[in-house]
Amino acid sequence: MTTVGGEPILEVEDLRIEQPRREGARTIVSSVAFSVRAGETVGIVGESGSGKSLTARAIMGLLPRGVAASGAIRHDGRNLLELSEPQLRSLRGRRIGLIMQDPFTMLNPLQRCGQILAESLPSGRSMGRRERRLEVARRLAEVGIHDETVLDRYPFQLSGGMSQRVGIAAALARDPEILIADEPSTALDVATQQEILAVIKRLQDARGMALVLITHDLRVAFSICDRINVLYAGSLIEAGEAAALHSEPLHPYTQGLLLSEPPSDRRVQRLMTIPGAVPTADQVTGSCAFASRCQWAAEECRRSAPPLVEVAPGRLSACARLPEIRSEMADLRDVALVEAEAPVPSAGAALLVEVRDVRKVFRGAGVPALDGVSIELRAGESVGIVGQSGSGKTTLARILVGLERASAGSITIDGVPADDWPALRPADRRRLRGVVQMVFQDPYSSLNPMRTIGWTLRQAITAHDRAARNVDAQLADLLRSVGLSPDYARHRPQLLSGGERQRVAIARALAVRPRLLICDEPVSALDVSVQAQILNLFDELRAERQIAYLFITHDLAVVRQVTDRVYVMHRGRVVESGATSAVLRDPHAEYTRTLVAASSTTADR
C-alpha cells in the first residue's frame, strides 16, 4: 500500500474558467482550489454543470477553443497555465495522464489496440518489433487483459469494460506520476465498474501514483478516495476526508446529494430530492450558490457569497448558517434513511406478460443473446431485470415492444400472442401499443429536436386516438402528471435539462394510457439528484395509475428501491428470481452473489 505524505505534487489555486463572448465573459468555474500529494486519491464530485470536467481539462491544457483559464495550476514548480502548447505536450502522458469517461474518445477507431499502445510508450528507448509487442502485452496484462489477441483487435471489437482497460493502459504507458480519471466507470455495469476501479487502485498503489477522480457517483467517490472536493455551480463548497464527509456532510448541498442516492442496503419510503437545477456560475454571483435550492436559505445567504472556511479539523464548508442548522441536518438524515417495509409481490393480480422459453440468435453470432428466458409480470406489479452488459436485458425489452423478433419461444401480452409483431393483425398491434410503452435511457435521442414538446405529445395522443378531443387539455394534464407545467409545451428538447427531457419522454409514453412501462436504464445517465426525482415519479405514477413496470437496470440500489420482484440475467439466461428484497439479501446463484458483492463493495469500501 502506498504511503501518502510529503508536499503536494499538484496544486490548483483560485482557478477560474471563462468563455469570452461579445456580451461579456461567461463564467464556468469561479473559484476552485485543491492539492494532491504523491500516492493520494482526491475526488472532485458534483452534478452536470458544476465545472468538474473542465477543471480536469484545464489541468491538462485541453480546454475547448474559446475557453480560457486563470489562476494557477502548479506542478513541479511551474504554473501549467503559463506553459506553451509544446511544453504541455511534453507533460501529457509522461507526467500527467488522463482517462476519459468514454474510452472510444481516447482510442483511435482506425488503429488496432496494439498499435495504439505501442505509440503511447515512452519514445526515448529503441525497441525492435518483437520486443515492442512483448512490452505492449505486458502493459495489457497490468490492466488484467492476458489475451494477446486483443492487440490485433480494433476498439469497436471490444466490450465497454475491455476498451476502458485498454484506455487505462494507454494513459499509463508513459508511467505518469499523476493520473486524472474523468468519470472512468460511469457507463459500466456494477461488476465491471468494480473491476475497473480495482485495476486503477492496484496500479496506483504499485506505482505510488497520485489519482484525481472526477465523478458524479458518490458511491464510487467514497469507495476509492482519501479526500473529496464538492463542486457546485463552478465553486468549491465543501472539502474534507472521505470518511468524515460521508458520516457527516457539512453543507446542505452535499447532504442533498447523499440523501438522493438510493441506499445499497435498504429500501426507503421516499428518496430525498433537491428541487430545481444547477444554476450557472454567473447566475449566483454575489450570493450563496446553493441558496435558490436550499431549505435553510436565509436573507444573509442571498446577500453575499459565504467564504470556504475551516469548520472542523480538515473540513472546509461554504455555508454561512452551518452552526445553526447542523443538528437539523443530522435529524433529516435520520428520517431520510429509515427503512421501508419491503413490498409483498401480489399473486392475485391478472397476468399481464408471460414469456416462455424465448431464444434470440442474431445473424452471424455464435452465442444466443437470449437462451430459454421465461418471465412473468402481473398487472400493477414492478419487476426488475438486472445483469451486466451483454446479459440480454435490452434484447428482451426490444422483443417485448416489437423492435426485435424472437427466434423461438412464446410471448403473450394482455392475452395477445406477441411473438411476431409484424405478423399481427393491425387491430392487435394497436391494442398492444396501448398496453405497453417503452422509456429509453437517453431521452434526447428519442425526442425530435426540431419539434416542440407540445407537438411531440400531441402526436402521441392523436396517434393512439385519432378522434381525440380536448387534445390541448390532455397535453397539459400529461405534463402536470410528470411534474412539469403546461408552459413546457412551447419548448424544444435542447432547452430542457436531462431530468426534464426524461419527464417528457415518460409523458409521451403515458399518452396512450399504457398498463405497462418498460424502462430501459431510464436513470443511469442522470445526475443523482435528478435520478431521485425520476424514481420518486415512477412510484407516484404507479400509485395513481396502477401501471406495471418492467425496470431494466444494472444498478442494484435502484432495483431495490423501485421493484417488487427481480430476475437476474447472465449470458442470456435467467439465473435467479424472486422477491427483490429476498434475492438481494440472500442471493443463491453464484453470479447474483458476485453482483451483490460488487455493489456492496463500491458503496461501503
Mean pLDDT by 10 residues, the chain (605 residues): 72 94 86 94 90 92 92 94 93 89 77 90 76 90 88 85 86 91 79 84 91 89 94 95 96 95 89 87 93 95 95 96 97 90 73 96 85 96 91 93 94 94 91 91 79 92 78 89 88 82 88 92 83 90 92 92 95 95 95 88 53
User: Cell 427483490, residue?
Assistant: 580
pLDDT tens for 234-279 read: 999 999 999 999 999 999 999 999 999 998 888 998 999 998 888 8
In this prediction, residue 345 carries a pLDDT of: 61
Structural element, H or E, at residue 386: strand 382-386
Pairing label, strands 235-241, 78-79: unpaired
Of 267, 271, 273, 270, give the one whose Cα is nearest residue 253: 273
Do the beta carbons of residue 517 and residue 548 sit within 8 Å?
yes
Do the beta carbons of residue 145 and residue 155 sit within 8 Å?
no
Supply angle C-alpha 503, 350, 354, rounded to 5.
80
Query: How far does CA 334 lie from the centroid of its chain?
Result: 26
Of 292, 261, 262, 298, give the one whose Cα is nearest residue 278: 292
In this prediction, residue 4 carries a pLDDT of: 62
Of 118, 124, 236, 145, give the one whose Cα is nearest residue 199: 145
Do the beta carbons of residue 297 and residue 306 sit within 8 Å?
no
Query: How far does CA 505 lie from the centroid of its chain?
Result: 18
Contacts of 605 (CB under 8 A, 6+ apart): 222, 223, 224
Q: List C-alpha distances in Å: 214 to 230, 275, 285, 451, 479.
A: 10, 24, 24, 35, 34
Rounded distance, CA 148 to CA 141, Å?
9
Rounded distance, CA 241 to CA 221, Å?
11
| Four-point Cα dihedral 220, 223, 225, 229, nearest 10 | 50
Q: List C-alpha distances in Å: 594 to 123, 165, 583, 584, 588.
A: 41, 20, 12, 11, 10
pTM for the structure as a whole: 0.87
**What single-letter DSSP state applies at residue 21?**
-
Pairing label, strands 382-386, 370-378: unpaired
3-class DSSP assignment, residue 13: strand
In CATH terms, the superfamily for domain 351-604 is P-loop containing nucleotide triphosphate hydrolases (3.40.50.300)
Structural element, H or E, at residue 349: none
Pairing label, strands 573-579, 416-417: unpaired
The strand pairing partners of 42, in sequence order, are 212, 227
Q: Which three cell numbers stand for residue 524?
A: 443511469
Of 223, 163, 155, 151, give the one whose Cα is nearest residue 188: 163
Do the beta carbons of residue 44 and residue 235 sit within 8 Å?
no
3-state secondary structure 200-250: HHHHHHHHCCEEEEEECCHHHHHHHCCEEEEEECCEEEEEEEHHHHHHCCC
Helices H / strands E in the chain, number of each? 20, 22
Task: For the chain, give every residue range classified as CATH 3.40.50.300.
Answer: 8-232, 351-604
The number of beta carbons lying within 10 Å of the beta carbon of residue 350 is 10
Contacts of 296 (CB under 8 A, 6+ apart): 252, 321, 324, 325, 328
Rounded distance, CA 88 to CA 486, Å?
50
In CATH terms, the superfamily for domain 8-232 is P-loop containing nucleotide triphosphate hydrolases (3.40.50.300)
Of 35, 33, 28, 30, give the one whose Cα is nearest residue 9: 35
Structural element, H or E, at residue 113: helix 113-120
Rounded distance, CA 596 to CA 601, Å?
8
Rounded distance, CA 259 to CA 234, Å?
22
Rounded distance, CA 36 to CA 514, Å?
52
**What is the sign, positive or negative, of the torsion defined by CA atoms of 545, 549, 555, 561?**
positive
Contacts of 259 (CB under 8 A, 6+ apart): 271, 272, 332, 333, 336, 337
Rounded distance, CA 196 to CA 472, Å?
49
The strand pairing partners of 550, in sequence order, are 383, 518
Q: What b/e string do you get for 519-551 counting C-beta neighbours within 10 Å, with b at 16 or more?
A: bbbbbbbbbbbbbbbbbbbbbebbeeeebbbbb
